[in-house]
């Protein structure tokens, strides 16, 4: 066979192969029998100042039909530093983590409280490490906020948001130094009842004034109130230092706590109604031990239970007013302002967030923009949106609660109570990974 003839056969066979594998046009009937889904997903929402976001802005979404599982650690996360908002950073977070190390039950392990802090032990403290839980973003997307979308010459991108159709998983901070965006949760206050509690103080730890030292140094706890005359009946007088009391617990639950804005450092907690809380505690007061100071100057008249509790209507008013006065003094307000007092709480005390929402997102914008579904507009610069992400629990004995407010500046300074330390997200003994 000649070389020319062989070459012709090769070309014919190649041509035949190409014609067989070429794409063939499909009719509507054939297409109707085929199903499939694109990897890329697109969407368009026109803002209406309601659920669809800022009016006058069109939101274009470009996403992936995928699941993004993240487990990462960033030693120092700083976004929006300088720029339009001046010195400082819109988001400034030390030891930022997505995901956690879990125990054998699949629960996130909390690190041991750092020395010198008010951090608390978590629900699952340091222990055997069995697995990992990811921070998951289902169908991740970029959302572009376009202003003047209908005018080609004026059209501009005024915001970009990174989010997902569903975002869930553990997120933790070593220290949340500065926050921009929206963060909300709930605050619960549980004040536990006590028995045989001294109204004033004991020596030396809780009693800077020796004159107010309680007579009952063996009491179960000490409220730490300043001493004063509760009742004066002429022949004998009753002072706070000469009685102990019993009372039940009280609670305030599901108090809304939210923070929004640019470069904020505290979350305001409204609705505690501290004066009403004191009244509820005092209404349940009963006398445990009491003695009266006689005209001879000694506290030798021991009042029986019957007489002591008969005096309760007089004692309750005095004790309640006195506690309110001490709380107000510790907060630098008047007793009349207790019910409306907004308790500040430092964001640095929040170390764990458990995210489960379709609205979680990280964004940056040229001007104030409310993205579709958002409750609040995000200010110019970088922002994080994390709804229903934390629970602030104040769970303590009444004596510790009162003493913590009346005896120190912790409450008014934003540190009324610590929260659990960050989640562990480093395997083994690594300090930060």
**2 pLDDT higher than 60:** no
Q: What is the mean pLDDT of residues 303-329?
A: 77
Structure tokens at 429: 């003994």
Instruction: Provide the pLDDT for residue 209.
Output: 63
Instruction: Answer yes or no: is pLDDT of 206 > 80.
Output: no
Query: Any residues with CB less than 8 A from the CB of 59 and at least 6 apart, and which?
Result: 44, 45, 46, 47, 52, 53, 143, 144, 145, 146, 371, 372
**Residue 126, pLDDT score:** 77
User: What span, in angstroms and rounded, lies between the C-alpha atoms of 270 and 381?
Assistant: 28
The more confident residue out of 217 and 315 is 217
Of the spans 33-37, 243-247, 333-337, which averages the highest pLDDT?
Answer: 333-337
**What confidence category does residue 337 fall into, taking pLDDT thresholds of 50, 70 and 90?**
very high
Average pLDDT over the chain, rounded to an integer: 86
- 34-70: pLDDT as tens digits: 776 678 888 999 999 999 999 999 999 999 999 999 9
Cβ(326)–Cβ(225) below 8 Å: yes
What pLDDT is stored for residue 287 in this prediction?
A: 84
pLDDT digits (tens, 9 = 90+) for 229-244: 777 777 778 888 888 8
pTM over 0.85: no
| Residue 404: closest CA among 185, 220, 221 | 221
pLDDT at residue 376 is higher than 60? yes
267 contact partners, CB below 8 Å, separation of at least 6: 183, 257, 258, 259, 344, 345, 347, 350, 392
Q: Which residue has the higher pLDDT, 411 or 38?
A: 411
Q: What is the pLDDT of residue 301?
A: 63
Mean pLDDT value across residues 4-11 = 44
Q: What is the pLDDT of residue 16?
A: 45
pLDDT score recorded for residue 11: 40
Specify which residues 120 forms β-bridges with.
420
Contact 416, 90 (CB under 8 A): no
- The reported pLDDT for the residue numbered 349 is 93
The beta strand positions in 266-415, using DSSP E, are 266-269, 286-294, 301-302, 343-346, 352-357, 361-365, 381-397
Contact status, residue 274 vs residue 338, Cβ threshold 8 Å: yes
pLDDT at 345 > cutoff 80: yes
Q: Mean pLDDT throughout 287-301?
A: 76
Can you give the pLDDT at residue 260?
95
Question: For residue 426, is pLDDT > 50?
Answer: yes
For residue 400, give the H/E element and its range.
Answer: helix 398-406
pLDDT in tens, 113-141: 988 888 888 888 877 888 999 999 999 99
State both tokens at 171: 């997120």
Task: Please state, in angstroms and as integers, the Cα–Cα distance from residue 55 to each residue in 45, 49, 50, 59, following that order.
Answer: 11, 5, 8, 10
**Percent of the chain scoring above 90 in pLDDT:** 53
Question: Shortest CA distance to 309 belongs to which of 397, 246, 248?
Answer: 246
Neighbours of 157 (CB within 10 A): 12
Does the structure show a pLDDT above 50 at 388?
Answer: yes
Among 60-64, 392-396, 427-431, the range scoring the smallest mean pLDDT is 427-431
Percent pLDDT > 70 in the chain is 87
Least confident of 39-53, 132-146, 300-314, 334-348: 300-314
Contact 365, 158 (CB under 8 A): yes
Higher pLDDT, 95 or 37: 95
Preceding omega of 204 cis (within 30 degrees of 0): yes
pLDDT given for residue 270 in this prediction = 92
CB 197 within 8 A of CB 399: yes
What confidence score (pLDDT) does residue 7 get? 46
Separation between Cα atoms, residue 89 and residue 264, nearest integer Å: 10
Average pLDDT over residues 398-409: 83
Q: What is the pLDDT of residue 299?
A: 75
Express each pLDDT in 146-165 by its tens digit.
Answer: 999 999 899 999 999 999 99
């Amino acid at each position: 066979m000649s070389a020319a003839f062989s070459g012709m056969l090769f070309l014919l066979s190649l041509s035949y192969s190409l014609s067989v594998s070429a794409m063939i046009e499909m009719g509507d009937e054939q297409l109707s029998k085929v199903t499939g889904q694109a990897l890329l997903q697109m969407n368009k929402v026109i803002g209406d100042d309601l659920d669809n976001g800022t009016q006058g802005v069109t939101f274009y979404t470009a996403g992936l039909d995928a699941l993004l599982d993240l487990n990462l650690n960033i030693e120092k996360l700083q976004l929006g530093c300088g720029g339009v908002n001046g010195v400082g950073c819109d988001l400034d977070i030390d030891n930022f983590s997505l995901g956690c190390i879990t125990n054998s039950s699949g629960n996130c392990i909390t690190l041991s409280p750092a020395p010198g802090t008010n951090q608390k032990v978590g629900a699952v403290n340091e222990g055997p490490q069995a697995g990992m839980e990811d921070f998951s973003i289902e169908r991740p997307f970029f959302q572009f906020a376009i202003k003047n979308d209908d005018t080609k010459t004026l059209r501009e991108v005024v915001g970009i948001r990174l989010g997902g159709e569903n975002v869930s998983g553990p997120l933790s901070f070593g220290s949340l130094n500065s926050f921009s965006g929206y963060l909300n949760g709930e605050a619960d206050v549980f004040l536990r009842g006590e028995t045989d509690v001294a109204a004033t103080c004991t020596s030396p730890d809780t009693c800077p004034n020796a004159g107010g030292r309680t007579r009952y140094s063996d009491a179960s706890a000490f409220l730490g109130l300043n001493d004063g005359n509760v009742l004066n009946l002429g022949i004998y007088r009753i002072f706070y230092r000469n009685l102990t009391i019993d009372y039940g617990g009280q609670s305030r639950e599901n108090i809304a706590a939210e923070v929004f804005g640019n470069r904020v450092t505290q979350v305001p907690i409204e609705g505690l109604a501290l004066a009403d809380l004191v009244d509820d505690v005092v209404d349940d007061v009963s006398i445990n031990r009491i003695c009266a100071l006689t005209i001879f100057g000694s506290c030798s008249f021991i009042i029986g239970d019957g007489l002591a509790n008969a005096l309760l209507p007089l004692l309750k008013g005095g004790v309640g007013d006195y506690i309110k006065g001490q709380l107000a003094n510790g907060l630098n307000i008047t007793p009349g302002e207790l019910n409306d007092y907004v308790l500040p709480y430092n964001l640095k005390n929040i170390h764990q967030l458990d995210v489960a929402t379709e609205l979680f997102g990280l964004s940056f914008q040229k001007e104030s923009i409310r993205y579709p579904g958002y409750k609040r507009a995000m200010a110019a610069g970088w922002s994080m949106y994390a709804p229903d992400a934390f629970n602030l629990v104040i769970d303590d004995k009444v004596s510790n609660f009162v003493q913590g407010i009346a005896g120190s500046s912790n409450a008014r300074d934003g540190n009324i109570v610590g929260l659990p330390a960050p989640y562990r997200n480093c395997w083994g003994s690594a300090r930060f990974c």
